[in-house]
Homo-oligomer: A and B are copies of this chain.
Amino acid sequence: MTAYTATVTVRLKHGVLDPEAETTKRSLERLGFELSALRSADKFEIDLDADDASAAEAEATEMTERLLANPTIHDYEISVAETEA
């Protein structure tokens, strides 16, 4: 078994309202910044042991689909790398 880190990024699907991002954008504008859009996402780094990278990615995908993301409103991306020592 090798130690892998799976990085999971969960973001709202295009068109789903994101009031938190909207509030953050407005707060930045109130501070005087100019920006045309702001999107927020959740990022999870999961350390797990697996036989190989594809097994680690399959495990992380199942974790994401069962708990971390809601497929009705979220898209997600997963990348896997060996954990740095």
Contact = CB atoms under 8 A, between A and B. Distances in A.
Nearest to A21: B44
Complex copy number for this chain? 2
A52 interface: no
Given A24-B44, A44-B40, A45-B41, A33 B63 contact: yes
Interface residues of A, number: 31
A78 interface: no
A68 B38 CA distance: 12
Interface in A26-65: 27-28, 31, 33-49, 59, 62-63
Interface of A: 3, 9, 11, 21, 24, 27-28, 31, 33-49, 59, 62-63, 66-68
